[in-house]
């Protein structure tokens, strides 16, 4: 999805498995400047009415989570008064079979979370590694993401290693990055941003660089489209652009 696009579904249950999942998907679309519309439900984030409906759904989801927390606390308190201890008896006894089931469940949950966010990082890793250092790949990955969804380098490396292990990414992405001349670093970063969205304007790239807190060649924080154009031309000469 790109800025201005609209994801259209027949019903919201065709897209999300829960209300919280729906809100997460819509948040990811909004981060890309895209909209969401459900034909049979009163949700269209491009309209004021649809945004209001989304706010109501968000409040309902938070209320639902609060109720679940309170019911869980009440159930545990009631069990303790009756002398029962919560949790899995097999885990308390360190039963190998029970421990294995928990470990597999955690792995499945982790893979599900990775798959839901794969579009945010897999294309960048596949395209930029190992030519670019991890810290610069991370800055490009996090550039368009809201703060709550940004990655740390350790989390990104763990995700990449998991995908390499399962065959979703080639082992070459984990190879050591080659040393790059200081003058080539900025062209490589800008080429990476442009490669993710070939239709991105010079001004949009300037804004992205400022969001990444990347300094201009002269050490300034404010980027100009002319500087981006100059570095793109250098990236092309270096063979960094497809």
Give per-residue pLDDT as tens, 121-151.
Answer: 998 899 888 988 898 899 889 888 888 888 9
Do the domain assignments include residue 146? yes
Which among 239, 240, 133, 127 has a CA at the least distance from the CA of 177? 133
Do the domain assignments include residue 88? no
Which of the two residues, 60 and 164, has the higher pLDDT score?
164
Which of the two residues, 151 and 55, has the higher pLDDT score?
151
Domain hosting residue 32, numbered range: 6-80
pTM: 0.47
Domain count, the chain: 3
Same domain, 197 and 170: no
Of all residues in the chain, the percent with pLDDT exceeding 70 is 78
Same domain, 102 and 54: no
Decide which of 174, 205, 222 is a domain's last residue: 174
Same domain, 137 and 198: no
Same domain, 104 and 168: yes
């Amino acid at each position: 999805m790109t800025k201005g696009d609209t994801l259209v579904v027949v019903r919201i249950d065709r897209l999300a498995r829960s209300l919280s999942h729906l809100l997460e998907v819509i948040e990811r679309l909004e981060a890309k400047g895209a909209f969401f519309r459900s034909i049979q439900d009163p949700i269209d984030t491009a309209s004021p009415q649809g945004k209001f409906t989304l706010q109501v759904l968000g409040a309902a989801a938070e209320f639902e989570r609060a109720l679940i927390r309170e019911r869980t606390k009440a159930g545990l308190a009631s069990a303790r008064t009756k002398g029962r201890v919560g949790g899995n008896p097999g885990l308390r006894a360190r039963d190998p079979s029970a421990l294995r089931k928990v470990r597999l469940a955690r792995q499945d949950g982790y893979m599900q979370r990775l798959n839901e966010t794969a579009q945010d990082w897999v294309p960048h890793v596949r395209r930029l590694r190992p030519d670019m250092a991890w810290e610069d790949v991370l800055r490009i990955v996090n550039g368009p993401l809201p703060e709550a969804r940004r990655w740390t380098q350790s989390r990104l490396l763990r995700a990449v290693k998991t995908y390499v292990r399962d065959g979703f990414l080639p082992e070459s992405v984990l190879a050591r990055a080659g040393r790059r001349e200081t003058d080539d670093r900025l062209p490589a970063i800008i080429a990476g941003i442009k490669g993710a969205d070939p239709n991105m304007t010079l001004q949009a790239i300037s804004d992205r660089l400022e969001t990444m807190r990347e300094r201009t060649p002269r050490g300034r924080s404010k980027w100009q489209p002319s500087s981006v154009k100059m570095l793109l031309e250098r990236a092309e000469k270096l063979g960094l652009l497809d």
